[in-house]
Amino acid sequence: WTGGLFRPATGLFRFDRSPPSASKRTISCSSCVRSTVNSPPDGSQQKPYSFEPLSGRALVRVHGEDSVSFLQGLMTNDMRHFEHSRAIYTMFLRVNGRVFCDALVYRHPEAKGNDDFLLECDRPAASRLEKHLKLYRLRKKVQVLLDETYHTWVAYRAQADPEAKALPVDERKAHPDPHLFKDPRLPRLGYRVLMGSNGDQTEKLDRLLETFPGEITTVPRYVPFRYTLGVGEGELNLPDGKAFPLESNCDWLHGVSFHKGCYIGQELTARTYHTGVTRKRLMPLQFEGLPLEDVPIDVLREADIKNQAGASVGKLRGYSAGQGLGLLRIEKVLPAGGPLTLSVPGITHSIVCHTIRPFWWPNETNTRS
Protein backbone atom coordinates (compact mmCIF):
# COMPACT_ATOMS: atom_id res chain seq x y z
CA TRP A 1 0.00 0.00 0.00
CA THR A 2 1.90 3.01 -1.26
CA GLY A 3 -0.13 5.54 0.71
CA GLY A 4 1.89 4.63 3.78
CA LEU A 5 -1.13 3.91 5.95
CA PHE A 6 0.40 0.70 7.22
CA ARG A 7 3.69 0.32 5.38
CA PRO A 8 6.17 3.16 4.76
CA ALA A 9 7.35 3.32 1.17
CA THR A 10 10.91 3.98 0.13
CA GLY A 11 11.66 7.71 0.14
CA LEU A 12 12.38 9.54 -3.09
CA PHE A 13 15.06 11.76 -1.65
CA ARG A 14 18.22 11.25 0.37
CA PHE A 15 20.50 13.52 2.34
CA ASP A 16 24.18 13.83 1.54
CA ARG A 17 26.36 11.83 3.91
CA SER A 18 28.59 14.78 4.65
CA PRO A 19 27.44 16.76 7.70
CA PRO A 20 25.73 20.07 6.89
CA SER A 21 27.15 23.38 7.96
CA ALA A 22 25.52 25.47 10.63
CA SER A 23 23.86 27.77 8.10
CA LYS A 24 22.99 25.42 5.23
CA ARG A 25 21.98 21.88 4.46
CA THR A 26 22.56 20.32 1.07
CA ILE A 27 19.90 17.99 -0.28
CA SER A 28 20.16 15.70 -3.27
CA CYS A 29 17.57 13.50 -4.93
CA SER A 30 17.41 10.56 -7.28
CA SER A 31 16.71 12.85 -10.23
CA CYS A 32 19.92 14.79 -9.54
CA VAL A 33 18.14 17.87 -8.22
CA ARG A 34 20.32 19.75 -5.78
CA SER A 35 18.94 22.37 -3.44
CA THR A 36 20.13 24.28 -0.40
CA VAL A 37 17.99 25.31 2.53
CA ASN A 38 19.07 28.48 4.27
CA SER A 39 18.63 28.88 7.99
CA PRO A 40 16.12 31.51 9.10
CA PRO A 41 17.62 34.99 8.57
CA ASP A 42 16.90 36.00 12.15
CA GLY A 43 18.88 33.04 13.46
CA SER A 44 15.90 31.64 15.36
CA GLN A 45 15.91 27.95 16.20
CA GLN A 46 12.48 27.19 14.79
CA LYS A 47 11.51 23.59 14.17
CA PRO A 48 12.01 22.40 10.58
CA TYR A 49 9.25 21.79 8.10
CA SER A 50 9.08 18.48 6.28
CA PHE A 51 8.36 18.47 2.56
CA GLU A 52 7.17 15.07 1.36
CA PRO A 53 5.58 13.48 -1.75
CA LEU A 54 2.21 11.79 -1.26
CA SER A 55 2.40 8.96 -3.77
CA GLY A 56 -0.86 7.46 -2.53
CA ARG A 57 -2.92 10.46 -3.65
CA ALA A 58 -4.40 11.24 -7.09
CA LEU A 59 -6.33 14.06 -8.76
CA VAL A 60 -9.66 14.19 -10.58
CA ARG A 61 -10.38 17.31 -12.63
CA VAL A 62 -13.88 18.76 -12.91
CA HIS A 63 -14.37 21.76 -15.19
CA GLY A 64 -17.08 23.43 -17.23
CA GLU A 65 -19.65 26.17 -16.77
CA ASP A 66 -21.89 23.97 -14.59
CA SER A 67 -19.08 22.57 -12.42
CA VAL A 68 -19.99 24.57 -9.30
CA SER A 69 -23.67 23.58 -9.23
CA PHE A 70 -22.73 20.03 -10.27
CA LEU A 71 -20.37 19.51 -7.33
CA GLN A 72 -22.71 21.37 -4.96
CA GLY A 73 -25.30 18.62 -5.30
CA LEU A 74 -22.87 15.75 -4.78
CA MET A 75 -20.73 16.60 -1.77
CA THR A 76 -21.04 17.53 1.90
CA ASN A 77 -19.35 20.94 1.78
CA ASP A 78 -20.53 24.19 0.20
CA MET A 79 -18.93 25.32 -3.07
CA ARG A 80 -19.75 28.91 -2.13
CA HIS A 81 -16.72 28.80 0.18
CA PHE A 82 -14.63 29.29 -2.96
CA GLU A 83 -15.75 32.91 -2.96
CA HIS A 84 -13.10 33.48 -0.28
CA SER A 85 -11.04 30.24 -0.28
CA ARG A 86 -8.83 28.32 -2.67
CA ALA A 87 -9.32 24.89 -1.10
CA ILE A 88 -12.00 23.07 0.88
CA TYR A 89 -12.35 19.65 2.48
CA THR A 90 -15.37 17.51 1.64
CA MET A 91 -16.82 14.03 1.43
CA PHE A 92 -18.85 12.27 -1.24
CA LEU A 93 -21.54 10.04 0.24
CA ARG A 94 -23.59 7.09 -0.89
CA VAL A 95 -27.37 7.44 -0.93
CA ASN A 96 -27.55 5.74 2.49
CA GLY A 97 -25.36 8.47 4.02
CA ARG A 98 -22.18 6.40 4.34
CA VAL A 99 -18.87 7.70 3.03
CA PHE A 100 -17.99 7.01 -0.60
CA CYS A 101 -14.67 8.88 -0.35
CA ASP A 102 -13.20 12.06 1.08
CA ALA A 103 -11.42 14.72 -0.96
CA LEU A 104 -9.61 18.03 -0.88
CA VAL A 105 -10.99 20.33 -3.57
CA TYR A 106 -8.70 22.96 -5.10
CA ARG A 107 -9.34 25.74 -7.54
CA HIS A 108 -7.21 24.78 -10.55
CA PRO A 109 -3.95 26.74 -10.18
CA GLU A 110 -3.71 27.55 -13.89
CA ALA A 111 -7.39 28.08 -14.69
CA LYS A 112 -8.48 31.45 -16.04
CA GLY A 113 -12.10 31.15 -14.93
CA ASN A 114 -13.92 30.13 -11.76
CA ASP A 115 -15.27 26.81 -13.00
CA ASP A 116 -12.20 24.57 -12.97
CA PHE A 117 -11.38 22.37 -9.95
CA LEU A 118 -9.03 19.57 -8.92
CA LEU A 119 -10.24 16.93 -6.46
CA GLU A 120 -7.46 15.22 -4.50
CA CYS A 121 -8.41 11.80 -3.19
CA ASP A 122 -6.88 8.46 -2.34
CA ARG A 123 -5.30 6.93 -5.45
CA PRO A 124 -7.34 3.68 -5.28
CA ALA A 125 -10.52 5.78 -5.08
CA ALA A 126 -9.74 8.09 -8.01
CA SER A 127 -11.17 5.95 -10.80
CA ARG A 128 -14.25 5.17 -8.69
CA LEU A 129 -14.76 8.86 -8.01
CA GLU A 130 -14.42 9.66 -11.72
CA LYS A 131 -17.11 7.09 -12.57
CA HIS A 132 -19.30 8.28 -9.68
CA LEU A 133 -19.19 11.87 -10.93
CA LYS A 134 -19.85 10.88 -14.54
CA LEU A 135 -22.86 8.85 -13.41
CA TYR A 136 -24.54 12.02 -12.12
CA ARG A 137 -23.34 14.36 -14.88
CA LEU A 138 -26.50 13.90 -17.01
CA ARG A 139 -27.00 17.07 -19.09
CA LYS A 140 -24.67 19.25 -17.05
CA LYS A 141 -22.07 21.19 -19.01
CA VAL A 142 -19.13 19.71 -17.16
CA GLN A 143 -16.12 17.52 -17.95
CA VAL A 144 -14.72 14.91 -15.55
CA LEU A 145 -11.35 13.22 -16.04
CA LEU A 146 -8.38 11.81 -14.17
CA ASP A 147 -5.59 14.39 -14.07
CA GLU A 148 -1.93 13.37 -14.34
CA THR A 149 -0.58 16.91 -14.69
CA TYR A 150 0.37 17.21 -11.04
CA HIS A 151 1.66 15.13 -8.15
CA THR A 152 0.65 16.04 -4.60
CA TRP A 153 3.25 16.96 -1.98
CA VAL A 154 2.76 18.09 1.61
CA ALA A 155 4.70 20.60 3.70
CA TYR A 156 4.17 20.37 7.45
CA ARG A 157 5.90 20.89 10.77
CA ALA A 158 5.74 17.79 12.93
CA GLN A 159 7.23 19.40 16.04
CA ALA A 160 5.28 22.49 17.06
CA ASP A 161 2.96 23.85 19.69
CA PRO A 162 -0.60 22.63 19.09
CA GLU A 163 -1.88 26.07 18.15
CA ALA A 164 1.17 27.07 16.10
CA LYS A 165 0.61 28.40 12.61
CA ALA A 166 1.17 25.95 9.81
CA LEU A 167 3.89 27.76 7.87
CA PRO A 168 5.78 31.07 7.67
CA VAL A 169 3.41 32.43 5.02
CA ASP A 170 1.73 35.77 5.61
CA GLU A 171 -1.97 34.96 5.29
CA ARG A 172 -2.79 38.63 4.70
CA LYS A 173 -0.94 38.60 1.39
CA ALA A 174 -1.63 36.73 -1.81
CA HIS A 175 -0.17 33.24 -1.89
CA PRO A 176 3.32 33.36 -3.40
CA ASP A 177 2.65 30.28 -5.51
CA PRO A 178 -0.74 29.34 -7.03
CA HIS A 179 0.20 25.67 -6.62
CA LEU A 180 0.39 26.08 -2.82
CA PHE A 181 -2.79 25.43 -0.82
CA LYS A 182 -3.32 25.78 2.91
CA ASP A 183 -4.88 22.59 4.24
CA PRO A 184 -8.47 23.63 5.05
CA ARG A 185 -8.88 21.03 7.81
CA LEU A 186 -6.31 22.06 10.44
CA PRO A 187 -3.42 24.55 10.48
CA ARG A 188 -1.13 21.82 11.87
CA LEU A 189 -1.61 19.81 8.67
CA GLY A 190 0.37 22.45 6.80
CA TYR A 191 0.11 22.96 3.07
CA ARG A 192 -0.56 20.85 0.03
CA VAL A 193 1.65 21.54 -3.01
CA LEU A 194 0.79 20.53 -6.57
CA MET A 195 4.07 19.72 -8.31
CA GLY A 196 4.11 19.41 -12.10
CA SER A 197 4.56 15.87 -13.36
CA ASN A 198 6.69 16.92 -16.34
CA GLY A 199 9.83 19.00 -16.76
CA ASP A 200 12.70 19.95 -14.50
CA GLN A 201 11.64 20.32 -10.86
CA THR A 202 14.79 22.12 -9.72
CA GLU A 203 13.41 25.65 -9.86
CA LYS A 204 10.14 24.80 -8.10
CA LEU A 205 11.93 22.79 -5.41
CA ASP A 206 14.37 25.63 -4.81
CA ARG A 207 11.56 28.17 -4.52
CA LEU A 208 9.49 26.00 -2.18
CA LEU A 209 12.46 25.12 0.00
CA GLU A 210 13.08 28.83 0.46
CA THR A 211 9.48 29.23 1.65
CA PHE A 212 9.63 26.16 3.86
CA PRO A 213 12.77 26.23 6.06
CA GLY A 214 13.08 22.50 6.42
CA GLU A 215 13.96 19.33 4.62
CA ILE A 216 12.82 16.77 2.11
CA THR A 217 12.17 13.65 4.13
CA THR A 218 13.91 10.38 3.34
CA VAL A 219 10.98 8.23 4.50
CA PRO A 220 7.24 8.95 4.60
CA ARG A 221 6.45 10.44 7.99
CA TYR A 222 3.30 12.38 7.22
CA VAL A 223 0.87 9.51 7.86
CA PRO A 224 2.02 8.76 11.44
CA PHE A 225 2.12 12.52 12.06
CA ARG A 226 -1.47 12.81 10.83
CA TYR A 227 -2.45 9.91 13.07
CA THR A 228 -1.08 11.74 16.14
CA LEU A 229 -3.60 14.49 15.36
CA GLY A 230 -6.46 12.03 15.03
CA VAL A 231 -7.18 12.91 11.40
CA GLY A 232 -8.36 10.22 8.99
CA GLU A 233 -7.85 10.33 5.25
CA GLY A 234 -8.41 7.92 2.40
CA GLU A 235 -9.74 4.40 1.88
CA LEU A 236 -8.25 2.66 4.90
CA ASN A 237 -9.20 5.25 7.52
CA LEU A 238 -12.59 5.95 5.91
CA PRO A 239 -13.65 2.65 4.31
CA ASP A 240 -16.11 2.95 1.44
CA GLY A 241 -19.65 2.07 2.49
CA LYS A 242 -18.78 1.68 6.19
CA ALA A 243 -17.70 5.06 7.55
CA PHE A 244 -20.06 7.89 8.45
CA PRO A 245 -19.03 11.54 7.94
CA LEU A 246 -19.61 12.75 11.50
CA GLU A 247 -17.93 9.71 13.06
CA SER A 248 -15.01 10.54 10.75
CA ASN A 249 -14.86 14.10 12.21
CA CYS A 250 -15.77 15.66 8.88
CA ASP A 251 -17.89 18.27 10.65
CA TRP A 252 -15.05 19.32 12.97
CA LEU A 253 -12.60 19.39 10.05
CA HIS A 254 -14.73 21.99 8.23
CA GLY A 255 -15.95 19.49 5.66
CA VAL A 256 -19.74 19.60 6.12
CA SER A 257 -22.21 22.41 5.53
CA PHE A 258 -25.53 22.14 7.33
CA HIS A 259 -27.00 25.15 5.50
CA LYS A 260 -26.38 24.45 1.80
CA GLY A 261 -29.45 22.35 1.03
CA CYS A 262 -29.77 18.89 -0.47
CA TYR A 263 -26.97 16.65 -1.67
CA ILE A 264 -26.60 12.88 -2.06
CA GLY A 265 -26.59 11.22 1.38
CA GLN A 266 -27.62 14.43 3.14
CA GLU A 267 -30.68 13.13 5.01
CA LEU A 268 -28.93 10.84 7.52
CA THR A 269 -26.07 13.30 8.05
CA ALA A 270 -28.47 16.15 8.81
CA ARG A 271 -30.61 14.01 11.11
CA THR A 272 -27.56 12.85 13.08
CA TYR A 273 -26.33 16.42 13.40
CA HIS A 274 -29.66 17.79 14.61
CA THR A 275 -30.09 15.05 17.22
CA GLY A 276 -26.73 16.19 18.60
CA VAL A 277 -25.50 12.65 19.28
CA THR A 278 -22.39 11.07 17.77
CA ARG A 279 -21.26 8.23 20.02
CA LYS A 280 -18.15 7.17 18.08
CA ARG A 281 -15.36 9.25 16.56
CA LEU A 282 -11.97 8.70 14.99
CA MET A 283 -9.32 9.23 17.67
CA PRO A 284 -5.52 8.95 17.82
CA LEU A 285 -3.84 5.85 19.19
CA GLN A 286 -0.28 5.66 20.48
CA PHE A 287 1.24 2.20 20.78
CA GLU A 288 3.96 1.11 23.16
CA GLY A 289 6.94 0.40 20.90
CA LEU A 290 6.45 -0.78 17.31
CA PRO A 291 4.37 -3.92 17.85
CA LEU A 292 2.66 -4.23 14.46
CA GLU A 293 5.37 -3.62 11.87
CA ASP A 294 5.33 -7.19 10.54
CA VAL A 295 1.60 -7.89 10.79
CA PRO A 296 -0.21 -8.21 7.40
CA ILE A 297 -2.58 -5.41 6.49
CA ASP A 298 -5.60 -7.69 6.14
CA VAL A 299 -5.07 -8.98 9.69
CA LEU A 300 -4.93 -5.49 11.15
CA ARG A 301 -7.95 -4.17 9.30
CA GLU A 302 -10.83 -3.50 11.71
CA ALA A 303 -9.02 -5.20 14.63
CA ASP A 304 -10.97 -4.97 17.89
CA ILE A 305 -9.93 -2.50 20.61
CA LYS A 306 -10.83 -3.31 24.23
CA ASN A 307 -10.64 -1.47 27.54
CA GLN A 308 -9.21 -2.78 30.82
CA ALA A 309 -12.48 -4.57 31.60
CA GLY A 310 -12.26 -6.50 28.33
CA ALA A 311 -15.20 -4.71 26.73
CA SER A 312 -14.98 -3.69 23.08
CA VAL A 313 -14.67 0.09 22.69
CA GLY A 314 -13.83 0.41 19.00
CA LYS A 315 -12.02 -0.72 15.87
CA LEU A 316 -8.58 -0.02 14.42
CA ARG A 317 -8.71 2.19 11.33
CA GLY A 318 -5.01 2.70 10.63
CA TYR A 319 -1.48 2.05 11.88
CA SER A 320 1.94 3.43 10.95
CA ALA A 321 5.22 3.60 12.88
CA GLY A 322 3.73 3.21 16.36
CA GLN A 323 0.82 5.60 15.75
CA GLY A 324 -2.71 4.68 14.83
CA LEU A 325 -6.32 5.69 14.39
CA GLY A 326 -9.26 4.07 16.11
CA LEU A 327 -13.00 4.49 15.72
CA LEU A 328 -13.76 4.64 19.45
CA ARG A 329 -16.81 5.03 21.67
CA ILE A 330 -16.04 8.38 23.23
CA GLU A 331 -17.83 7.87 26.54
CA LYS A 332 -15.98 4.56 27.05
CA VAL A 333 -12.47 5.99 26.61
CA LEU A 334 -12.86 9.60 27.81
CA PRO A 335 -12.36 11.00 30.35
CA ALA A 336 -11.53 7.76 32.16
CA GLY A 337 -8.38 7.15 30.16
CA GLY A 338 -6.31 4.09 30.97
CA PRO A 339 -4.62 1.65 28.61
CA LEU A 340 -6.45 -0.02 25.76
CA THR A 341 -5.64 -3.39 24.22
CA LEU A 342 -5.67 -4.28 20.54
CA SER A 343 -6.95 -7.77 19.78
CA VAL A 344 -5.23 -9.11 16.64
CA PRO A 345 -5.94 -12.63 15.33
CA GLY A 346 -2.87 -14.84 15.63
CA ILE A 347 -1.12 -12.65 18.22
CA THR A 348 -1.35 -13.94 21.78
CA HIS A 349 0.55 -11.24 23.66
CA SER A 350 -1.08 -7.95 24.66
CA ILE A 351 -0.73 -4.99 22.30
CA VAL A 352 -1.19 -1.94 24.48
CA CYS A 353 -2.17 1.49 23.20
CA HIS A 354 -3.47 4.78 24.59
CA THR A 355 -5.73 7.49 23.27
CA ILE A 356 -6.13 11.19 24.01
CA ARG A 357 -8.69 13.85 23.24
CA PRO A 358 -7.40 15.77 20.18
CA PHE A 359 -6.61 19.39 21.01
CA TRP A 360 -8.72 20.66 18.10
CA TRP A 361 -11.96 19.03 19.24
CA PRO A 362 -14.67 21.37 20.59
CA ASN A 363 -14.75 21.79 24.35
CA GLU A 364 -18.08 20.00 24.67
CA THR A 365 -18.82 16.73 22.89
CA ASN A 366 -22.36 15.34 23.04
CA THR A 367 -22.25 11.53 23.21
CA ARG A 368 -25.36 10.83 25.26
CA SER A 369 -27.28 7.63 24.58
Q: Across the chain, what does the average pLDDT equal?
A: 83
Q: Say which residues have a Cβ less than 8 Å from residue 214's Cβ, sequence separation at least 6.
A: 37, 48, 49, 50, 51, 155, 157
Q: What CATH fold (topology level) applies to the domain 279-362?
A: Elongation Factor Tu (Ef-tu); domain 3 (2.40.30)
High-pLDDT (> 90) share of the chain, %: 61
- Mind listing the pLDDT tens digit for each residue in 123-174? 999 999 999 999 999 999 999 999 999 999 999 988 766 555 554 554 444 5
- Give the pLDDT confidence of 290-349 residue by residue, as tens digits: 778 888 888 898 899 999 999 999 999 999 999 999 999 999 999 877 899 999 988 888
Q: Locate the domains of the chain by residue range.
A: 1-277, 279-362
pLDDT tens digits, 245-264: 999 999 999 999 999 989 99
Three-class secondary structure of residue 83 per DSSP: helix
* Whole-structure pTM value: 0.84
**Are the C-beta atoms of residues 279 and 367 closer than 8 Å to each other?**
yes
- Let me know if 289 is exposed, middle or buried by CB neighbors in 10 A (0-12, 13-18, 19+): exposed
Question: CA–CA separation, 284 vs 324, rounded Å?
Answer: 6
pLDDT digits (tens, 9 = 90+) for 57-70: 999 999 999 999 99
β-sheet bridge partners, residue 105: 88, 119
Domain 1-277, classified CATH 3.40.1190.20, yes or no: no
C-alpha pair distances (Å), 284 with each of 281, 328, 359 = 10, 9, 11
What separation in angstroms does the CA of 136 have from each of 68, 75, 123? Answer: 14, 12, 21
3-state secondary structure string across 238-251: CCCCCCCCCCCCCC
**What is the separation of C-alpha 224 from the centre of its chain, rounded to a whole number of angstroms?**
11
**Higher pLDDT residue, 121 or 204?**
121
pLDDT tens-digit readout, 20-55: 333 333 333 333 333 333 333 333 345 678 889 999
**C-alpha–C-alpha distance, residues 116 and 327, integer Å:** 35
